[in-house]
């Protein structure tokens, strides 16, 4: 490996929108750059601006991760690129395959941090669940990621790299993505606490000339960072929104979500009411079923009142237990009774079948366990 040259440091100033983190490996990660930023980067290297389109196509549409394979670029340019840049530093550390086809990817980032992404094949669609932070600061009482705390935010490049790496591992590099591939930001981290990088990654994923994932196929899930929900409402390219609700009143939510003391339910639900929805769009409310905590008939009735006036669907998620977490899942009979009450009130709900439980890939189990014990 060549030692980093001084001029690669200068790139930080030439492209101010590129975060310092993306250059800590001294070679800039190109996967987080838009086509315009790629152009600036190439021009700074005295290269022709039109190469940006080729480079963008190779990286984002064909998902090529090594410059050697970009055979439509001149050899000299490929050599310059490998000296100054990488497509991504993210690499697969291990992959776990569940009996139901779910695959959990433990990924290593440039600084050795680990994050997890999950590929879930379903009958009518495939879903990739990606992380937005290394760890999470929110410490929700029923979530494993909360147990490890926040290590750092991920860069847009790192967020997008999960999608590229999982797609390449599952379908093969460059192979067209099946039409119904969904991206959910429901892995490690609170996406709205890493707002700018998350929004940038949504734009990169949605880019027509790149991965071209329609915005309606991307869902961002939040524990309820209210001011950022208002910001999200104003974005041009915005994913669908899911709220991790899991409690029908402040008393229960305060206990489960420390963030609820800062942004209580009245404020959260007001932000949801004001959230602009497309024609056939709904807000999703995720409700983790915790035995004896939030699963009684009265709680279902409170939930119905809370959601009144909101175009919503509810995902009832059986709790995935872990030795570190003090909760059990509600029994299926209770979940069905809870669902019945919602149904009678006209509230749409689905019971989420847990996937990948045997490989610790189910909701709330992502903790990159190496790291938890490091
Ligand atoms: N911070 C974001 C995204 C990460 S959590 C958020 O809070 O939404 C993603 C989803 O996993 C949320 O719906 C959350 O409620 C769910 N979840 C967390 N821990 C869980 C557990 N132990 N069992 C089942 N679902 C869990």
Closest-lying ligand 1 atom to the alpha carbon of residue 188? 4
Residues sharing a CB contact under 8 Å with residue 247, sequence separation 6 or more, in sequence order: 253, 255, 256, 257, 260, 265, 294
pLDDT for the residue 374: 35
Residues sharing a CB contact under 8 Å with residue 79, sequence separation 6 or more, in sequence order: none
**Is residue 231 a contact partner of residue 195, using CB atoms and an 8 Å limit?**
yes
Q: For residues 96 and 361, what is the distance between their CA atoms, to the nearest angstrom?
A: 9
pLDDT for the residue 370: 52
Nearest CA to ligand 1 atom 19: 364
pLDDT for the residue 17: 43
Q: What are phi and psi of 134, to 5 degrees?
A: -85, 105
Is the distance from the beta carbon of residue 221 to the nearest atom of ligand 1 less than 6 Å?
yes
Longest dimension (CA), the chain: 69
> Tens digits of per-residue pLDDT, 304-318?
999 999 999 999 999
Instruction: Flag residues of the chain having pLDDT under 70.
Output: 1-25, 361-374
Q: For residues 118 and 361, what is the distance between their CA atoms, to the nearest angstrom?
A: 7
Out of 22, 40, 114, 116, pick the active-site residue. Answer: 116
Is the distance from the beta carbon of residue 131 to the nearest atom of ligand 1 less than 6 Å?
no
Nearest CA to ligand 1 atom 18: 364
Is the distance from the beta carbon of residue 288 to the nearest atom of ligand 1 less than 6 Å?
yes
Closest-lying ligand 1 atom to the alpha carbon of residue 185? 3
pLDDT for the residue 108: 96
Nearest CA to ligand 1 atom 5: 186
Out of 136, 140, 272, 363, pick the active-site residue. Answer: 363
> Tens digits of per-residue pLDDT, 173-216?
989 888 889 999 999 999 999 999 999 999 999 999 999 999 99
Q: Is 286 helix (H, G, I), strand (E, B) or coil?
A: strand
Mean pLDDT of the chain: 90
Q: Is 77 helix (H, G, I), strand (E, B) or coil?
A: helix
Nearest CA to ligand 1 atom 25: 363
Q: For residues 314 and 345, what is the distance between their CA atoms, to the nearest angstrom?
A: 13
Q: What are phi and psi of 298, to 5 degrees?
A: -60, -35
242 CA to centre of own chain: 12
């Amino acid at each position: 490996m060549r030692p980093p040259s001084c001029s690669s440091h200068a790139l930080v100033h030439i492209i101010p929108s590129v975060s310092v983190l993306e250059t800590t490996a001294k070679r800039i990660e190109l996967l987080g750059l838009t086509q315009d930023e790629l152009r600036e980067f190439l021009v700074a290297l005295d290269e022709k601006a039109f190469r940006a389109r080729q480079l963008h196509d190779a990286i984002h549409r064909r998902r090529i991760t090594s410059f050697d394979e970009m055979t439509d670029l001149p050899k000299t340019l490929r050599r310059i690129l490998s000296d100054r840049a990488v497509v991504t530093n993210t690499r697969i550390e291990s992959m776990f395959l569940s009996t139901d086809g779910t695959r959990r990817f433990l990924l290593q980032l440039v600084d050795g941090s680990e994050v997890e992404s999950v590929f879930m094949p379903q009958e009518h669609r495939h879903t990739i669940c990606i992380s937005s932070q290394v760890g999470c600061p929110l410490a929700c009482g029923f979530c494993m990621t909360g147990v490890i705390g926040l290590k750092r935010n991920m860069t847009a490049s790192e967020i997008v790299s999960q999608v590229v790496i999982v797609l390449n591992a599952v379908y093969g590099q460059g192979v067209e993505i099946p039409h119904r591939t969904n991206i959910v930001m429901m892995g490690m981290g609170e996406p709205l606490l890493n707002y700018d990088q998350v929004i940038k990654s949504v734009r990169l994923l949605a880019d027509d000339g790149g991965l071209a994932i329609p915005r309606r196929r991307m869902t961002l899930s939040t524990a309820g960072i209210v001011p950022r929900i208002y910001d999200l409402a104003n974005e041009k390219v915005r994913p669908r929104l899911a709220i991790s609700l899991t409690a029908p009143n402040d008393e229960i939510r305060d206990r489960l979500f420390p963030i609820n003391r800062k942004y209580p339910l009245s404020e959260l639900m007001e932000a949801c009411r004001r959230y602009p929805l497309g024609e056939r769009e709904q807000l999703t409310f995720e409700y983790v079923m915790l035995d004896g905590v939030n699963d009684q008939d009265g709680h279902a009735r409170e939930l119905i009142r809370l959601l009144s006036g909101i175009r919503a669907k509810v995902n009832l998620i059986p709790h995935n237990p872990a030795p570190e977490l003090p909760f059990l899942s509600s029994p299926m009979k209770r979940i069905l009774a809870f669902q019945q009450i919602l149904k009678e009130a006209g509230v749409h709900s689905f019971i989420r079948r847990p996937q990948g439980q045997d490989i610790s890939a189910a909701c709330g189990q992502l903790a990159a366990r190496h790291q938890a014990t490091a």
